[in-house]
Amino acid sequence: MRGRALAAAMQRAEAAIVGGLLPPGTVRRVGGVVCLTAPFIPHPFVNRAIGFGTFADPDEALLERIERLFERAGTPPRVTLPGDLASTRSRRLLDRRGFTLHEPQLDSVLLHDAAGIPDPPAIRGLTIERLRPEDVTLYARTAAASFPERPRFEEAVLPVARRAIRSRTLHPFLARIDGEAAGTGLLTFVGRVAGMSNGTVLERFRGRGIQKALLARRMREGLRRGYRVFFSQTQTQASLHNMLDLDWRVLYVNADYERR
């Protein structure tokens, strides 16, 4: 996959992963575009349209429909384009409708399509296991405690973890140090792409390489199941460095356009 096809595949993965954290009724499709509308969570990450100009052809009528949906939801219309892989037509249509590029742009979308996976450093006392039914609540609490600044994060993660126990496409992993929960990671299969998300490590366990180990464990699971294209995204430099160390590469930086 290259160009628009690759951007479309990555945006499909992003929409599925982020949308999977939201409650019913907040993820809608408009002409193929996935629209996340969760105004009760005041964060642009969960209030935006994904797929305009990639897996949905861009035109002004479609953009008007997207605008109306967000206006009815009570949140500013916002469209995420795949950075440098976005079409000129998509940008021109957004500009014509009064959208402006939101700065700063921090959300890096990463790709891994190499044949092998470098070995992460050995970590004393570390175990990483597929989530068991009895640990669903522990998984959600660990993820939420790792990011206390994220509003209602445990509430979002818990139903995903419950669904994942019987899912063929969702595969959560729990990392422990000497038996104590230390971090989480989710592997999601979307079409031909294996997506990495929910990568968290409790603050007291950071700096040991646990995030790298969680990434490598999920990548090996994806490879075992025949996946060769992996998706992830991050806004933090620490996570970015961990992925680059495992031969990931930045494919593009999300460009969020907003109309006020």
Query: CB under 8 Å to 45, separation ≥6 — which residues?
Result: 18, 107
Question: Which amino acid does the sequence have at 143?
Answer: A
Kindly give the pairing relationship between strand 229-234 and strand 193-201: parallel
Compute CA 185 distance to the chain's CA centroid, rounded to the nearest angstrom. 11
pLDDT (tens, 9 = 90+) of the chain, 260 residues, equals 788 899 999 999 999 999 998 988 999 999 999 999 998 888 899 999 999 999 999 999 999 999 999 999 999 999 999 999 999 999 999 999 999 998 887 899 999 997 788 888 899 999 999 999 999 999 999 999 988 877 678 888 999 999 999 999 999 999 999 999 999 999 999 999 999 999 999 999 999 999 999 999 999 999 999 999 999 999 888 899 999 999 999 999 999 999 98
Cα gap 13→8, rounded to integer Å: 9
Cα gap 86→252, rounded to integer Å: 10
Phi, psi values for residue 30, rounded to 5°: -125, 105
pLDDT for the residue 244: 94
For the chain, which residues make up each domain, given as ranges?
A: 3-106+254-258, 126-227
> What topology is assigned to 126-227 in CATH?
Aminopeptidase (3.40.630)
pLDDT for the residue 202: 97
Cα gap 154→138, rounded to integer Å: 10
Torsion over CA of 232, 236, 241 and 243, rounded to 10 degrees? -10
- Model-wide pTM > 0.85: yes
How would you class 200 by CB atoms within 10 Å of its CB: exposed for 0-12, middle for 13-18, buried for 19 or more? Answer: buried
Q: What is the phi-psi region of residue 81: left when phi exceeds 0, alpha when psi lies from -120 to 50, beta otherwise?
A: beta
Helix residue ranges, H only, 100-251: 136-146, 153-164, 210-224, 237-245
pLDDT for the residue 148: 80
Joined together, the tokens standing for residue 222 give 């994806």
Question: Which amino acid does the sequence have at 252?
Answer: Y
Kindly list the distances between the CA atom of residue 198 and the CA atoms of 139, 143, 209, 227, 243, in Å, as whole numbers in the listed order: 10, 7, 16, 19, 14
Cα gap 97→86, rounded to integer Å: 17
